[in-house]
Structures are given as C-alpha cells and as structure tokens.
C-alpha cells in the first residue's frame, strides 16, 4: 500500500526566504505526482504536475523535482511571500486513468511578514 509522507508538518519562515518542502512515497511505481495548495476553508489548487518520466517542473517562483527511484519529491519556493501561506499537499497517482490519488500528510506553511 502506497504511503505518502510530508516533512515538516508545519513550517514558519520570514518573508523573502527560499524554502523547500519534502514529499516521500513508499512505492516508486507512480504515473505522476501533483503538488497542491489549500487555503483555509477552500478547495485545492493544483500547482505543478510532474510525470514519472520528468525530473522537474517550474512555474514562476515554484520548482518541483522528482526522484522516482528514491521515492522523493521536493517543492522549492523562491522569495517567499505572505500570500504563500497555506497548506501544501503532494499526491501520487499509480497509473493512467481513473485510479485515485494518494495524498501526503501536508505541510502547513506560514510566511512571517
């Protein structure tokens, strides 16, 4: 059974700092991995999607990497801003089609102005 873990569970950093969120998964036979953010009382916003054949994806100040063989992904946020405060979730999909995502435990990020 796939297990997805995110470390740390909570993180507070001053505004402007670069930071890294970690995601690890036990079964490396994945199809793709997604990073999401969730603001309090809201749904999930998809940030980045990495296919199993890719090593990284970038969107603005966000960069996600994937090392499938070691079961790890990282989300790098550059020049953090207070608006980045949210809970960040990673999730893996095992195969194409309708198989469900397995979510990580989440990292609650607070950017201190």
On whether the CB atoms of residues 26 and 2 are closer than 8 A, the answer is yes
Answer yes or no whether residue 98 interacts with another protein by CB under 8 A.
yes
Residues within window 36-95 making contact with another protein, judged by CB under 8 A:
36, 41-46, 49, 51, 89, 91, 93
Answer yes or no whether residue 100 interacts with another protein by CB under 8 A.
yes
Q: How far apart are CA 93 and CA 106, in angstroms?
A: 16
Range in contact with another protein (rule: CB under 8 A) among 13-21, 26-34, 60-68, 76-84:
26-34
Q: Which is nearer to another protein, 14 or 100 (CB)?
A: 100
CB of 98 to another protein, least distance (A): 4
On whether the CB atoms of residues 10 and 108 are closer than 8 A, the answer is yes
Answer yes or no whether residue 14 interacts with another protein by CB under 8 A.
no
Q: How far apart are CA 16 and CA 64, in angstroms?
A: 19
Q: What contacts 10, CB < 8 A, 6 or more positions away?
A: 107, 108, 109, 110
Q: How far apart are CA 16 and CA 108, in angstroms?
A: 17
- The residues of the shown chain that bind another protein, judged by CB under 8 A, are 31-32, 34, 36, 41-46, 49, 51, 89, 91, 93, 96-98, 100-101, 103-106
């Amino acid at each position: 059974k796939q297990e997805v873990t995110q470390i740390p569970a909570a993180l507070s950093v001053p505004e402007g700092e670069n930071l890294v969120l970690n995601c690890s998964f036990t079964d490396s036979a994945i199809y793709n991995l997604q990073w999401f953010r969730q603001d309090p009382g809201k749904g999930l916003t998809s940030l980045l999607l990495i296919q199993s054949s890719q090593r990284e994806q970038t969107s603005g100040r966000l960069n996600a990497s994937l090392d499938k063989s070691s079961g790890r992904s990282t989300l790098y946020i550059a020049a953090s801003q207070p608006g980045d405060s949210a809970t960040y979730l990673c999730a893996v999909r095992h195969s194409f089609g309708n198989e469900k995502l397995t979510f990580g435990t989440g990292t609650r990020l607070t950017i201190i102005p």
